[in-house]
């Protein structure tokens, strides 16, 4: 059994895989994180673990996990199942490494664009020969809402509303329209530009906002909220060979 730990900017996800099949998946806040990790190890009799962290995970917490189970940390020196052509490989986010690993594992010999709609919106492209070139990083939906409040004097801070029209008839509906339609327009435009340059492009949408966005995009995509967890599991399996 493989234990997968994904520490994001806002929450921590745990998953357990039996080979390539996920049998457990849950998200937690940081305050009960170690307790949940220990419970998973004992309940599912996990043999190996991998951790990807873009958040503020303490060294002491990582060391505690290492005392319980063999642990691999995702970083720029880890053996990965693709060729990293990023010009600054040491700065490549560990979450993006996991997403690209999932792409080459699940769509071998395909041109794949992975869009992760989370705290930030990231775009990552890997070609049919498993060459990873990079992509883009854009503000996520919640960041866009917060920025309007922070950098203006009169605009309110709103919670995301995905049921929007093109024309907002009030300040609030105009904000919702601008942010949500802006994100959708950005994604569709970028997908189209990649399709022009790459034949038979496969597009995967993942991240916290995937269920709200997947049926609103014009382009055909695969929606998978667990894509990063699956990618981390593929990296762990790859390193255990």
Under DSSP, the state recorded for 171 is H
Edge-to-edge strand ranges of the sheet holding 12-18: 21-28, 12-18, 2-7, 48-53, 71-73
CB under 8 Å to 144, separation ≥6 — which residues?
179, 182, 183
Is there a catalytic annotation at residue 209?
no
The active-site residue out of 6, 56, 95, 169 is: 95
Inter-residue contact 102 to 116 (CB < 8 Å): no
Residue 178, CA distances (Å) to 4, 102, 113, 162, 191 in order: 37, 32, 25, 11, 20
Q: CA-CA distance, 124 to 60, in Å (whole number)?
A: 32
The DSSP annotation for 69-133 comes to S-EEE--TTS--SSEE--SSGGGS-HHHHHHHHHHHHHSTTSEEEEEEESSEEEEEEE-TTSEEE
Could you list the active site residues?
A: 95
């Amino acid at each position: 059994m493989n234990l997968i730990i994904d520490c994001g900017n806002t929450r921590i996800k745990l998953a357990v895989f039996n080979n390539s099949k996920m049998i457990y998946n849950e998200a937690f806040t940081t305050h009960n994180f170690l307790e949940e990790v220990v419970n998973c190890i004992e309940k599912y009799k996990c043999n190996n673990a991998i951790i990807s962290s873009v958040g503020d995970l303490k060294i002491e917490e990582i060391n505690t996990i290492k005392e319980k189970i063999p642990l691999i940390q995702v970083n720029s020196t880890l053996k990965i199942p693709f060729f990293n052509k990023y010009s600054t490989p040491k700065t490549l986010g560990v979450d993006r490494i996991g997403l690209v690993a999932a792409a080459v594992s699940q769509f071998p010999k395909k041109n794949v664009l992975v869009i992760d709609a989370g705290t930030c919106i990231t775009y990552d492209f890997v070609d049919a020969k498993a060459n990873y070139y990079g992509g883009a990083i854009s503000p996520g939906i919640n960041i866009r809402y917060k920025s309007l409040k922070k950098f203006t004097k009169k605009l309110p801070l709103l919670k995301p509303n995905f049921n929007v029209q093109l024309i907002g008839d009030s300040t609030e509906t105009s904000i919702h329209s601008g942010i949500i339609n802006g994100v959708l327009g950005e994604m569709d435009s970028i997908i189209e530009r990649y399709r022009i340059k790459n034949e038979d492009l496969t597009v995967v949408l993942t991240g916290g906002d995937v269920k709200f966005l997947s049926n609103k995009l014009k382009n055909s995509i695969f929606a998978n909220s667990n894509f990063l967890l699956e990618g981390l599991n593929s990296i762990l399996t790859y390193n255990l060979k």
